[in-house]
Amino acid sequence: MLINVLVLIGVSIVFTFTFVFLKIEEKTITPITIMAGRCVIAFLLLLTIALITKKDLIGHFKEWWKFLTFAVFGITLSWIGLAVGQEGTSVSVAAVLDAVIPIATFVILVVVLRQIPFTFQGFLGLLLGAIGIVLVVGVNKLASADATVQGVVILIAAYTVFAANGVLVEKWAKGIDPLITTTYFLFFASIMLTATAFIFEQPEKLPWTEDNYIEELLLGLFCTGAGYYGYYFLVHRAGAYFSSFIFFLIPVMGLFAGILILKENYTYLRLLGVPIVLAGVYIVNREKLSKG
């Protein structure tokens, strides 16, 4: 269980920096092009590791339709929705809407599939987590944040699709090495995103700079390659529901990153949200954590 918790924290830290790099790059580079670039870099990284470690990539090609499905829902649709939706919302609103992922996962597993029994404890944990995120991001920021209805709806849809994909991966990829799973769906997603970028954004004509290349490399290697492998490794080990709580921790990690790295101001009310988020995550997973 300790490994699961450490991976949960590690992936949440890596994913936190995704939002930072995206905001920086979107000042000069179009969103789908950014997504395509990070996806291609991540695929090449994991393909290299899979080949070095002699994973049976060819033997699993017969399950290409599963990996293609994961690529469509877990990357292509959700990433395009994230990129487009963020253009109509502030970072603070996007961070709060992260909570849609564990909530949507709860609804899918408990209400739709009835794979997990409903408990008041689980509902309370989700509620506390959502309240904690609002406090961490800052009530004042949310009250004054610029956000269009269209941007919010797109983000909610993107996060819900991502949550559904996590459930699919848990059900369909059992027994498949998560490195193989992640490598394959990054391969399919790279093709789809690259084609989409060239059709709609003409990336070869964009004003690329050395900083853009560095940011894209960091996005691909760490935020995407390492981050997505860690996420699906966790789905493989602990299930989609536990893994979804990464997205409760991202705003918390973002708060500390802003304070420690960017020297941002903070309030005690925002800091109060941190233990509330952690309490929500603990309450939902108390039985698993107690079993060690």
Q: What is the DSSP string of 244-263?
A: TTHHHHHHHHHHHHHHHTS-
- Predicted TM-score of the model (pTM): 0.88
Question: Which pLDDT score, from 0 to 100, does residue 194 have?
Answer: 96
Question: Which pLDDT score, from 0 to 100, does residue 64 have?
Answer: 95
Summarize pLDDT for 190-211 with one digit per residue, the tens: 999 999 999 999 999 999 999 9
d(CA 131, CA 273): 8
Burial of 32 (0-12, 13-18, 19+ CB in 10 A): buried
Compute the radius of gyration of the chain from its Cα atoms: 18
Summarize pLDDT for 209-218 with one digit per residue, the tens: 999 999 999 9
Check pLDDT > 80 for residue 147: no
Summarize pLDDT for 82-91 with one digit per residue, the tens: 878 877 777 6
What is residue 175's three-state secondary structure? coil
Highest mean pLDDT among 101-105, 137-141, 258-262, 280-284: 101-105
Q: In the chain, what are the domain boundaries?
A: 2-291
Summarize pLDDT for 22-36 with one digit per residue, the tens: 777 878 888 889 999
